[in-house]
Every structure is written in structure tokens, then in C-alpha cells.
């Protein structure tokens, strides 16, 4: 597994996203068995970065992730756990309360990374960071980040955070390049900020054809592996695909070690 280094940390290039674990916007306990199986398989295969949020399955996703971690023989210190606070909780007090609830659901003493899930322009970002900075001072959170922030808001967040912003988590893939085109990726690469690519496998666009399919065929990779390798071959980019299929989980994590050449990257682009 390749790692990305930022702010003195080594973070796996490929982590495990947990959207749809335990439900979608609401908890769906009919999915519990399959969700726990997916999490346990990911831990057994070697995933060590898990990304969740209080809004995933209305908190039930965090509960299931916590259960899977407790059931495993993986040391907490070897894991990198990310969660997120939802937009309506971005006041000073509610941010702190949301984090504490996430920790209780996960059964953890601290989060490695805590993100603002979506910006909320109706609430003052200064108030949000008052709460976030306090969480870092109390060591309930070790690192801060944001998600779905444009360049202007990312710069504001960096100015308000008492500790370095570790990442901006955004949609980024072979087919979705908005945050490369709007300057966020370049800014992150220049300022030692990770860009965490979510939704890296856009099903409709990943077809055997043209650049992506050509490189996949030449490397004896799946199209999905090639799409992940394209992300992992970029500086300061990590990604968090999700799959409940153990073979797909293996394929995704193996793609982190595929280093594409400059000509292959250009072919895909």
C-alpha cells in the first residue's frame, strides 16, 4: 500500500468510504449483516483508513464501524478514522456536541480527522472553528479538514483553524474534474493539503473505451482499478472507494500500488 504524506502524517492512498453502510440518510437495520460483513472484510484485507459521517444512516453507520473495529484484532493506533459534522450542526456548541456523539457511537476516545461535511453559509465559519479548535485542544480530534469547499472557503477555513487543515474532501474522478478545473487541486498540492477524492468510481462513465480502457487493457487491470490508480498517481491525492464485495475491495486497495507513467496519465486525461 502506498501512502501520502502531509503535515507529518502517512495516510494510505486508498481508504474505505462508508456511505450506504447501515442505510442511506436513515438507518436501515436490514442492511446490518451485510454492512458488518463489508467492514470486517475491509479490515481483514488491510484497509486502515475508514471515512464515515454523523449523517450516514443517521449515525448508525458510525455504530456499525465501531462494532467492526471492536470485533477485529486491529490496534486503534493503526487505524485512521475520519468523521464529519453535518451543516446544521456548525454552531460552536453543536459542533462540539456532534463530535462527542460521534465518538460515543464509534466507541472511540478520539477521531484522527474531523471534517465539516458541507459548508453552511447561513452560519458563521468563525463560530464553527471556535468549536473545532476546542476539540483539537482537548485531543478529542487530532486533525481538522473540510469537505465540498471551493477555493475561497478553503482559504477561509485555513485562516481560522489553529491547526493545519489536513484535507478537502471533494468529488473527483476520471469523469468528474470540477475541483481540478476550479483551482482547488492545484492549491492543495501547493500548500501541503490532501485532496480526498470521494465517488472515485462513477459507474456511468467507466467504460472500456478510449484512454481509460486502453491503459487498463495494457496493464491487465480492471477499468475501476485503472481509475483508482489514476487518482493515486497524483500528488497529494487520496481516495475512499466503497465496496461490499471482498474481491472488489482487494482490487481497489491493490490499485494504490499501480504507478502510472506520465504518458498513461495523459492518455487517460
Q: What is the model's pTM?
A: 0.96
What's the mean pLDDT when you consider all of the chain?
Answer: 96
Question: Which residues are CB-neighbours of 264 under 8 A, at least 6 positions away?
Answer: 215, 219
User: Over 70: is that where the pLDDT of 205 sits?
Assistant: no
Segment (H or E) for 209: none
Angle, to 10 degrees, between the axis of helix 223-232 and the axis of helix 210-219? 100
Average pLDDT over residues 259-264: 94
State how far the Cα of 266 lies from the Cα of 269, in Å rounded to an integer: 5
What the chain holds in terms of domains, given with CATH numbers, is 10-202+236-242 (3.20.20.100)
> What pLDDT score was predicted for residue 262?
94
**Three-class SS of residue 7?**
coil
**Among 148, 240, 258, which Cα is nearest to 201's?**
240
**CA distances in angstroms from 196 to 14, 127, 170, 212, listed in the order given:** 10, 25, 6, 21
Q: What is the pLDDT of residues 111-158, one digit of tens each?
A: 999 999 999 999 999 999 999 999 999 999 999 999 999 999 999 999
* 8 A C-beta contact, residue 51 and residue 15: yes
Instruction: Give the alpha-carbon dihedral of 179, 183, 186, 192, to 10 degrees.
Output: -80
pLDDT-derived band of residue 195, with 50, 70 and 90 as boundaries? very high
Which DSSP symbol is given to 4? E
Q: What is the pLDDT of residues 72-85, one digit of tens each?
A: 999 999 999 999 99
Cell of 212: 481509460
> What pLDDT score was predicted for residue 158?
98
**Beta pairing partners, 141:** 111
Amino acid at each position: 500500500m502506498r501512502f501520502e504524506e502531509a503535515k507529518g502524517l502517512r495516510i494510505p492512498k486508498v481508504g474505505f468510504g462508508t456511505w450506504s453502510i447501515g442505510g442511506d440518510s436513515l438507518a436501515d437495520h436490514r442492511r446490518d449483516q451485510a454492512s458488518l460483513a463489508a467492514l470486517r472484510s475491509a479490515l481483514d484485507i488491510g484497509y486502515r483508513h475508514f471515512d464515515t459521517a454523523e449523517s450516514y444512516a443517521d449515525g448508525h453507520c458510525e455504530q456499525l464501524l465501531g462494532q467492526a473495529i471492536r470485533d477485529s484484532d486491529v490496534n486503534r493506533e493503526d487505524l485512521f478514522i475520519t468523521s464529519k459534522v453535518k451543516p446544521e450542526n456548525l454552531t460552536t456548541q453543536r459542533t462540539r456536541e456532534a463530535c462527542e456523539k460521534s465518538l460515543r457511537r464509534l466507541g472511540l476516545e478520539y477521531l484522527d480527522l474531523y471534517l465539516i461535511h458541507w459548508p453552511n453559509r447561513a452560519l458563521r465559519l468563525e463560530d464553527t472553528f471556535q468549536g473545532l479548535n476546542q476539540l483539537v485542544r482537548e485531543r478529542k480530534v487530532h486533525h481538522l479538514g473540510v469537505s465540498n469547499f471551493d477555493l475561497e472557503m478553503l482559504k477561509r477555513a485555513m485562516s481560522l483553524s489553529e491547526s493545519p487543515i489536513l484535507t478537502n474532501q471533494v468529488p473527483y474522478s476520471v469523469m468528474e474534474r470540477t475541483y481540478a478545473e476550479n483551482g482547488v487541486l492545484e492549491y492543495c498540492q501547493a500548500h501541503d493539503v490532501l485532496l480526498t477524492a470521494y465517488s472515485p468510481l462513477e459507474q456511468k462513465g467507466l467504460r472500456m473505451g478510449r484512454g481509460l480502457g486502453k491503459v487498463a487493457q495494457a496493464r491487465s487491470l480492471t477499468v475501476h482499478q485503472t481509475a483508482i490508480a489514476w487518482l493515486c498517481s497524483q500528488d497529494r491525492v487520496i481516495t475512499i472507494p466503497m465496496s461490499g464485495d471482498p474481491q472488489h475491495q482487494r482490487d481497489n486497495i491493490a490499485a494504490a500500488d499501480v504507478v502510472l507513467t506520465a504518458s498513461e496519465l495523459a492518455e487517460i486525461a
